[in-house]
Structure 1
Amino acid sequence: MKKPKKKLVIGVGAVAVVAAGAIAVLGNPGKEGETLPKVEVVEAVTGDVQQTVEASGTVVSEEEKTYFSPANAKVDEVSFKEGETVKAGTKLVEFNMKDLEREEKKAELNVKSGKLDMQNTLNKSDKAVKKQKDAQGNVASLEQQVAAQKNYVASLKSQLAQVTADAQAQAAAEAARKAEEARKAQEKKQQEIQRQYEEAVRIYESETLPAYQNRLNELNSAANQALTVYNQAENTYQMAFTAWSADQSPENTEALSQAEADRSNAQVEYQNAQAVYEDYKTQMPPAPLLSDFTGASDLVTDGTGSDFSDTPSGDISGGTVSVDTSGIEIALEQASSDLAELQSELASQEAIAEADPNAVTKEEKEKMKITNNLSELEKMSAKELVESAKKGVTADFNGVISKVTVVEGSTVTQGTELFTLQNTDKVDVDVNISKYDYDKIQENQKAEITLAGKKYEGTVTSVSHIATQNEKGASLISARVRIDDPDENVFLGVDAKVTIQADKAEDVLVLPAEVVNIGKQGSFCYVLEDGVIAKKNIETGLSSDDYIEVTEGIEEGDTVIRDIGTLQEGMPAEAMASGDAAVTGEGA
């Protein structure tokens, strides 16, 4: 059985071939004069065997890049069409810069506005917190002052009562000579006056002054509450303004208008409440004076026709005894007024100390920082987009435009696909290898590529390890062959023929492919040994279409029969004389 041919090439190496003539009729080799059959033979010689693998494929680019818009902008110029070749560094798309520069300016203003808003809010927060801390400190001091003032008022009252009592006692002693009735009446009158005065003082201290103070506290609380509402409205307005500055949408515009109206209303409410408080503060009721009650009762005479109606207010006379209490009374009135003011101030400071100062929280401060950082990033992004758009879109390598999606004059957004460029300096041929040949293919093997009648040198760059099937169900292995030096005559997408230079055996023993047979036991050939046909089992290596490497079984110089025809092993034969039809061949 003949071994099937393989697409292989023999290297330059001489193989002597003796052309065969007609095979003579067999005769008895022992009889003299009879002619032996002649056989065409070749000599086993040393040569080179080059394996090749033939394949066809499609020319493709090794590198493809799709370009996208770097910014939101109008396309001013598109200087290419699909299928055109372009050089590396060529500006292919130019953008209109007007809108981008406006967005960059807007981003800068947003950053500045955000920083000012944050600083303003923090200043107000710090001021409110300081005011509260000051009020908390003032409360303790005012409480001490109020307590001291109460003690002072109480001492004045006690002093006045003591002076009055002493004067009354002196007056009673001086008037002892008057009739008992007159003395008793006068004493009763004085007691009534004292009772009425003390009752008036009691009512003033327990009802009138507390009622005034409670009302003053209510008005002060209302003013503080109105201030809190105003501060909250101010904060809401600042946040609405920040949102509107970042996005002037209808919703943000409406929210800003509402926040501004609420702030104005809250400011008016606060001013009105403060005015009512200040007005009422001036209306503190005066403390009662003893002099207001000296003529409250009917006067009685001493029985001599004289009465006490001419006794001055604050004077208690017994003829020779007189005392003036006006100084103590004035001091008591002033002390009471001072006490009321201290109590009012204490209530005001307590309200401030207990009220929520609307201080900026740690989370709110961090949020404002994040907002400002985002504005900074937007500013940087806008600036980068402007710089990127100024450069336009430039070809990164020599190539051909394979897809165009951009239209001149259109407005594109950042990330919009513009076009696709395929590299013409890095060009490959995608080929499919038969399952009979894939084991011969390796990376870095050299190849010859025929494209439109022109030949190019190439290199195997990759071999797939996953087989695919063609339309007939045959298994194929894909490989990629790079064209080492492509030129302008290489077109993407066209068919190309590829001859891959596979393994090569140099300076080895070779035989023509047709003399090697394959049987159940392996490869064999026939040789002439001492004029007798003999069968030789051989081991083979690389093979081409014409020659096969022999690694074992015969030696260089052995005479190998091309075809024994009807002859058999063990028969005598003789080689055809070399002079009859001898040729010497070289493997291509």
Structure 2
Amino acid sequence: MLPGSRGKKKKKWKIAAGILAAALLLCAAAGVFSGGDKEQLPTVDAAEVAKGDITSTLETSGVIASEVTRVYASAVNAKIGEVPVVLGQGVEKGDYLLTYDTDSLQKSYDIAELQAKAENAAGSDTLAKASESAGDLAVSESEMHTLQGQIDTVNAEINALQAQAVENEMASNNRAAANEELARLEAEIETLGAQIAKLEENGSQGVLSEKEKETLGKLKKEKKEKEHEAAKKKKSLKGAGELANRQTQIQAQISQKNNELSELQGKFSEAQSKNASAEAGILTEAARANISYSQQANKLTLEQTAEDLSKAKAGITADFDGIVTEVAAAAGTMAAEGTSMITLASAEHMCVEVPVSKYNLVNLKPGQSAVITFQDNTYQGNISYISKLAEKGESGAAMVMMKVHIDTPDNKLILGLDAKVTVDLGTAQDACIVPVSAVNSDTQGDFVYTIENGTVVKKYVTTGMSSTDEIEIKSGVEPGEKVITTVDSDIIEGMEVQESEQQNPDEAPTTELTE
């Protein structure tokens, strides 16, 4: 039993009816003899938290289904010959599922073959007559292509030379500005030299103040910096004559390239005239395309009719051993291409489709082993698939489809019938175990009532695996603690209780309750 579904499964409670009744009578008598001056404590059944192993399983049922289903559609538009299978029939790989009447398809193929031969002959004749003119056209187009490449090259060279000429012109303009800047620097250097000479003359006469000495140092430093800058300007202005000569050379090269361009353009015009004359004597591209398209269309028609005839002769055969689950074809009727004809389910790949609730889903995962039972036959299997989509079942509750793969299916299995499934959810070893009846739930979670020094203590617990009678407690209580197993609305935390006397479970009567 799953922890999340305790409220949906049967619990077995053992009620020591004889002993409980005797205890109640004794308690009543004791009250009479004592004069009734002591309040009788409630008596509860309790069990000790024990250590042990617990194995959890899920017992459910589902519908036998095939894991591999193929819908065979008609591959051609043709008349159906025979349908040698019926619904529910078992077939083997290679067996015929449907055959076609091929007479009409054979006639269509013969007609398409003759049309293709006629079209090829007419097209070949037309193309042969135009082949000579086509040769002239090819020569002229090649010449035009070569000339155009040469023209493009010369144009690129002219553009490059013109760019160089512009750069030289800009360089010349920059030189003029640089000369002006050099003249300004030389004038400033001369002025600074005069100022320095005057201060040095005063210094030689011993009348130079500290401030004038400081000024003299600054002037010398400034004069040195400007002399350095002027030297750089002079260096950059060298080669002015080379720049002028380069400009003259560039202009000469541009003139030469323009002459080459004019000559090439003249040759290109002549080639264009030859090309136009050649085009007048050959088929247009549209005419050539029309011949090609007609030949291709007839070829495709012939190939299609040949393919349809071949498919019709082959009919529809089974790709695997299976069971016919749908027959939508009838002998003598016309089958449209793409229309479903036969549906075949594999008999070698079978499963059980089981709807599971959200409570059970938490403990299920692909790969868990399972035992499938059908008509007294047992099969081994495992969970192969759990859907990611929940759908409402007949009861209105959301259910998730789970598939349990059958390892070795045989011909005893029948698609569509129910089968029992027992899923092994695992075993918890050396776990803390209490009776299922001891665990209850409220809005805060699962809890148990323990007895500590005769007082009821409520403890929230974390549950794990469970069986029909026992459940694993992962945290919340420890081995040796006493938990109350007869929980009802009268039990509240903090009340004082007394534990009922233990009895032999084989002798005590039992009552099976259903939650």
TM-score range, shorter chain: 0.5 to 0.7
Contact 1:61 1:424 in 2 (8 A): yes
Alignment partners' CA distance in 2, 1:416 and 1:570: 75
**Matches of 2:499 and 2:134 in 1, distance apart?**
125
Matched, 1:466 2:389: yes
2:462 equivalent in structure 1? 540
Quick one: structure 1 residues 365 and 9, their matched pair in 2 at CA, closer, same or farther if it must change by over 3 Å?
farther
Contact 1:536/1:553 (<8 A) preserved: no
CA RMSD of aligned residues (A): 4.5
Aligned with 2:69 (options 64, 78, 81): 64
Give the unaligned 5+ runs of structure 1: 11-16, 133-352, 584-588
Q: Tell me which residue corresponds to 2:97.
A: 92
Q: Distance in 1 between matches of 2:132 and 2:342?
A: 59
1:494-520 per-residue CA deviation (whole Å, 9 max, x = no partner) reads: 334444444653331101112335567
2-structure distance, mates of 1:564, 1:61: 47
Separation in 2, partners of 1:89, 1:50: 47
1:523 to 447, 463, 469: 447
1:381 maps to what in 2?
A: 304
Q: C-alpha separation between the residues in 2 aligned to 1:488 and 1:384?
A: 37
Partner of residue 513, structure 2: none
Q: Which amino acid aligns with 1:93?
A: L
Q: CA-to-partner distance for each residue in 1:70-108, whole Å, 9 max, x for gaps? A: 334444433212221211221222334554444444444
The one-letter amino acid paired with 2:310 is E
**Which letter does structure 2 place at the counterpart of 1:110?**
Q
TM-score (norm 1): 0.49
Question: Could you give the per-residue CA deviations for residues 255-274 of structure 1, whole angstroms, max 9, x where no partner exists?
Answer: xxxxxxxxxxxxxxxxxxxx
Aligned AA for 1:466? L
Letter in 2 for 1:124: K
- Residue in 1 that maps onto 2:347: 424
Match of 1:487 among 410, 421, 424: 410
Give distance in 1, aligned partners of 2:468 and 2:136.
Answer: 104
User: Contact 1:440/1:503 (CA < 8 Å) preserved in 2?
Assistant: no
Match of 1:81 in 2: 86
2:116 matches 1:116? no
Q: Residue deviations 1:341-390, cap 9 Å, x none?
A: xxxxxxxxxxxx99996742112212322322233333333333343333
Distance 1:488 1:432 in 2: 24
Partner Cα distance (2:467, 2:49) in 1:
16
Amino acid aligned to 1:526: T
1:183-262 matches, within 5 Å, as none
Equivalent position amino acid for 2:410 in 1: D
Aligned: 1:407 with 2:412 = no
Whether the 8 Å CA contact 1:539–1:552 is kept in 2: the answer is yes
Asked if the contact 1:97/1:386 (under 8 Å) is kept, the reply is: yes
Residues 1:476 and 2:478 are matched in the alignment: no
The alignment of Structure 1 onto Structure 2 pairs a total of residues equal to 350
Report the AA paired with residue 368 of structure 1: I
Residues 449 and 517 of structure 1: is their aligned pair in 2 closer, same or farther, counting only changes over 3 Å? same
Tell me which of 375, 383, 396 is aligned to 2:319: 396
* C-alpha deviation, 1:63, in angstroms: 2.6
Distance in 2, matches of 1:567 and 1:354, equals 114
Assess, with a 3 A threshold, how the Cα gap between structure 1 residues 544 and 106 changes in structure 2: closer, same or farther: same
Rounded to whole Å, the distance in 2 between the matches of 1:37 and 1:70 is: 81
Helix, strand or coil at the partner of 1:437:
helix
- Distance (whole Å) between structure 2 residues aligned to residue 468 and residue 130 of structure 1: 73
TM-score (norm. length: structure 2): 0.55
**Deviation digits for residues 408-438 of structure 1 (CA, Å, limit 9, x no counterpart):** 3445454444322222323333333234333
Quote the Cα distance in structure 2 between the aligned partners of 1:25 and 1:402: 71
Using the alignment, how far apart are the partners of 1:354 and 1:18 within structure 2?
Answer: 117
Q: Do residues 511 (structure 1) and 512 (structure 2) align?
A: no
Q: Tell me how far 1:472 sits from its aligned partner.
A: 5.2
> Do the aligned residues in 2 keep the contact of 1:66 with 1:420 (CA within 8 Å)?
yes
Match of 1:360 in 2: 283
Structure 2: which amino acid aligns with 1:523? F
Structure 1 or 2, whichever has the larger Rg, is 1
Question: In 1, distance between residues paired with 2:106 and 2:93?
Answer: 28
8 Å CA contact 2:461–2:477 kept in 1: the answer is: no
Q: Residue 19 of structure 1: CA displacement?
A: 6.9
1:84–1:474 CA distance, 2 compared to 1 (3 A): same
Residue aligning to 1:240: none
Aligned residues of 1:7 and 1:51 also touching (Cα < 8 A): no
The residue number in structure 1 matching 2:37 is none
Could you tell me how far 1:120 is from its partner in structure 2?
Answer: 0.8
Q: Does the residue aligned with 1:430 lie in a helix, a strand or coil?
A: strand
